[in-house]
Amino acid sequence: MGFLRTALWGLGAAAVAGAGIGLWLTMPGRVDPDEFANLKGDAVAGERVYFAAGCTSCHTSKEDPDVAVLSGGRAFASDFGTFYAPNISSDPVFGIGGWTLLEFANALQKGVSPEGQHYYPAFPYTNYARMTPQDVTDLFAYMQTLPASEVPSKAHDVSFPFNIRRSLGGWKLLFMDESWVEESPANERGRYLVEAMAHCGECHTPRNALGGIDRDKWLTGAPNPSGKGEIPGITPSQLQWSAVDIAYYLKKGFTPEFDSVGGSMASVVDNMAKLPAEDREAIAAYLVGLD
């Protein structure tokens, strides 16, 4: 009996220790407050970041996408459930109008809510994590100038075990890689736009069974999460367009074959068309320079 009691105590202690380690490993991360301490937001500069980051593509009403009210509500189906874009308007109750800059930065770059919960990676914080603190600060300043909405955010439709938020800490340990994909890009600004703000890899790169990006197949195309068709690859061997063709497509939405943009890419082009020409040219230079 003494041996059995000792063994049970040992198993119990191991279980408690294991649980403690698990909680520690899945603890939500935070940005470094010192990186934001002396920054001042520039709303004019933030508008450029806003369109590059594609906030309107997910968070505006599908019924009236041209109105910059970030009330959320759009549904995004996946193998793990259906996610709904939240209200990120300037409303202090239903949106993010009551957030501090650090709370905004933690959400955007660490995928952590002001209450300390992990956000699902349907929110592309794995890409936004590469943004500079100044761009994050400018974006926050600009978003405070946009209209407020009192529409409540809709709860995600995600079943067990994916509804266990703490488990997302483990997902982040496995798949949240803040390093650049292209170590020596043809265009530094293009890399920043593609891999950070515009988060092109979220749609154009395949994922593994747990939803992690397969960086070895960067921008080579992926199944459409809606289950309808494929999202095309945009590497040079797949998209045999010139840099001029790509830049023109991002501005006007017309391919070299005179076809026009459609589907979710239409809203991307709407955003890209509002950027300076040098940003579209930088994206094009990055894409044609991929190995």
Give every CB contact of residue 195 below 8 A, 6+ residues apart in sequence.
Answer: 127, 130, 180, 181, 182, 201
Instruction: Report the C-alpha gap between 12 and 279 in whole angstroms.
Output: 58
Does a structural domain hold residue 117? yes
- Cα 228 to Cα 78, 178, 223: the distances in Å are 12, 30, 8
Q: How many CB atoms lie within 10 A of CB 271?
A: 18
Give the pLDDT confidence score for residue 221 in this predicted structure.
96
Does a structural domain hold residue 52? yes
- Element (DSSP H or E) covering residue 188: helix 188-192
Give the pLDDT confidence score for residue 14 in this predicted structure.
47
Does a structural domain hold residue 4? no
- Cα 34 to Cα 27, 30, 99, 133, 141: the distances in Å are 20, 12, 18, 10, 18
Does a structural domain hold residue 12? no
Give the pLDDT confidence score for residue 118 in this predicted structure.
96
Does a structural domain hold residue 153? yes
Give the pLDDT confidence score for residue 150 in this predicted structure.
95
Number of domains forming the structure of the chain: 1
Give the pLDDT confidence score for residue 10 in this predicted structure.
52
Does a structural domain hold residue 19? no
- Divide the 291 residues of the chain into consecutive groups of 10 and give the mean pLDDT of each group: 52 48 67 97 98 94 66 89 94 97 98 96 97 98 96 92 87 96 94 98 94 96 83 95 97 93 91 98 97 76
- Read off the DSSP letter of residue 232: P
Give the pLDDT confidence score for residue 80 in this predicted structure.
87
Give the pLDDT confidence score for residue 20 in this predicted structure.
54
Beta strand residue intervals within the chain, DSSP E: 75-78, 81-84, 222-223, 230-231
Q: How many CB atoms lie within 10 A of CB 98?
A: 12
- Cα 205 to Cα 76, 81, 168, 200, 233: the distances in Å are 17, 20, 21, 8, 8
What is the pTM (predicted TM-score) of this model?
Answer: 0.89
Does a structural domain hold residue 9? no
Does a structural domain hold residue 247? yes
Domain that holds residue 94: 29-288
